[in-house]
Amino acid sequence: MKSLPDPSSKTGVGTAGAQEEIVVSIRSDLDIVAARQRGRTLAESLGFGPSDSTLVATAISEVARNILVYAQCGEVRLAPVENSGKRGLMIIAADQGPGIADLHLALQDGYSTSRSLGLGLPGVRRLMDEFEIQSSVGGGTRVVVKKWQANSR
Which residue intervals of the chain are DSSP H helices?
A: 29-45, 50-66, 103-106, 120-127
Please identify, using beta-carbon distances, which residue of 5 and 123 lies nearer to other proteins: 123
Q: How far is the CB of 145 from other proteins (least distance, A)?
A: 13
- Closest to 70 in 3D by CA, of 109, 35, 130, 120: 120
52 by DSSP, 3-state: which? helix
> Taking the alpha carbons of 149, 28, 73, 101 in that order, is the dihedral positive or negative?
negative
Give me the residues that bind other proteins (CB under 8 A), please.
29-30, 32-34, 36-37, 40, 50-51, 54-55, 57-58, 61-62, 109, 113-114, 116-119, 122-124, 126-127
Least spacing, CB of residue 83 vs other proteins, in Å: 23
- Shortest Cβ distance from residue 82 to other proteins (Å)? 26
